Amino acid sequence: MEFLRLAKRRTLVSELVYVLLNVGLAAALLVVVWVVESPLPAFAVVLLSKWRVLAVRPRYWFAHIQANLVDLIVSFGLVVLLYTASAGGTGEGMAVQIVLTLLYVAWLLLLKPRTKRAYVIAQAGVALAVGTIALFSLSYGWPSSAVVIAMFVLGYSTARHVLSAYSDNSLTMMSLIWGYVTAQIGWLTYHWLVAYDIPFTDTIKLPQATIIIIALSFLAERIYNSYAKHGAVRSGDVLLPALLSFGVVAVIIFVFNGVSTGSI
């Protein structure tokens, strides 16, 4: 009985330590961006927090890095958004930074640890959204090749994350194909960049590329889900997702391109 009490106590202590460490990481990123006013030291903090990725034999490093890419994308993306939100130098920007930090805490404590397929898909969606918003917030002065490479990494890592929930034998090949698709979308949107204002912030914009990629990724996942279940793609499973995805893409391209939008 004493052993059970001790085990329970250790579990509660370990959970408390886990929560405090994750909240501390989020708070540290916010404070570093506030104090230093540069994203680079905050990037270093994120990398230091991932020391366990390399705390194995070198032959396992690549596999561990791939497994942690989605979390790294969200973490690096948060740093970029925190820095971008501070560009205005107003109290409104500080409020946005605090909200972003709280959302990051929710990511670390509520969404990231989940392993069910629905949560894994949601994790990939968050990484795509945060990653593309952060990328296009920075890349207006970059060469197109750098944007294409970054988009490939985003597409590859999020596709791999989703496919891992299906235990797919062709995981790497399918992930490479989707990385190529997102890289092509990145190249097109780099040359035709449209962004929309987000309420309560003047410095962070929602790129059109984010909406397009998430819509098409949602459709691709629904198609693959149908194939994984039935061994073939059933029209009844993908008709509504296809109509929704293509409808969203058509509306933002042919309708919202003609209205006043933000710029990056």
Same domain as 76, residue 6: yes
DSSP state string for 133-166: HHHHHHGGGS-HHHHHHHHHHHHHHHHHHHHHTT
**Residues written for the chain:** 264
CB 169 within 8 A of CB 240: no
Dump pLDDT digits (tens) for 139-149. Answer: 888 999 999 99
Same domain as 106, residue 206: no
Domain boundary pick from 113, 136, 169: 113
CA 109 to CA 103: how far, in whole Å? 10
Same domain as 129, residue 206: yes
Same domain as 119, residue 223: yes
CA 57 to CA 41: how far, in whole Å? 27
Same domain as 34, residue 90: yes
Cβ within 8 Å of residue 145, ≥6 positions away: none
Dump pLDDT digits (tens) for 204-217. Answer: 999 999 999 999 99
Least Cα distance to 102 among 206, 41, 23, 205 occurs for 23
Same domain as 121, residue 245: yes
pTM (two decimals): 0.90
Domain boundary pick from 113, 129, 151: 113
How many domains are contained in the chain? 2
> Which has the higher per-residue pLDDT, 261 or 161?
161
Same domain as 98, residue 28: yes
Least Cα distance to 71 among 160, 11, 152 occurs for 160
With a cut of 80, say whether residue 258 has pLDDT above it.
no
Q: Domain containing 100: what range? A: 1-113
Residue 14: pLDDT band with limits 50, 70, 90: confident
CB 262 within 8 A of CB 203: no
CB 187 within 8 A of CB 144: yes
> Which has the higher per-residue pLDDT, 20 or 59?
20
Average pLDDT for 3-25 = 74
Largest CA distance in the chain: 71
Residue 118: pLDDT band with limits 50, 70, 90: very high
Same domain as 191, residue 88: no
Residue 168: pLDDT band with limits 50, 70, 90: low
Count how many Cα atoms sit within 13 Å of the Cα of residue 25 in the half-sphere of its side chain: 24
Per-residue confidence (pLDDT) for residue 61, from 0 to 100: 85
Domain boundary pick from 113, 129, 163: 113
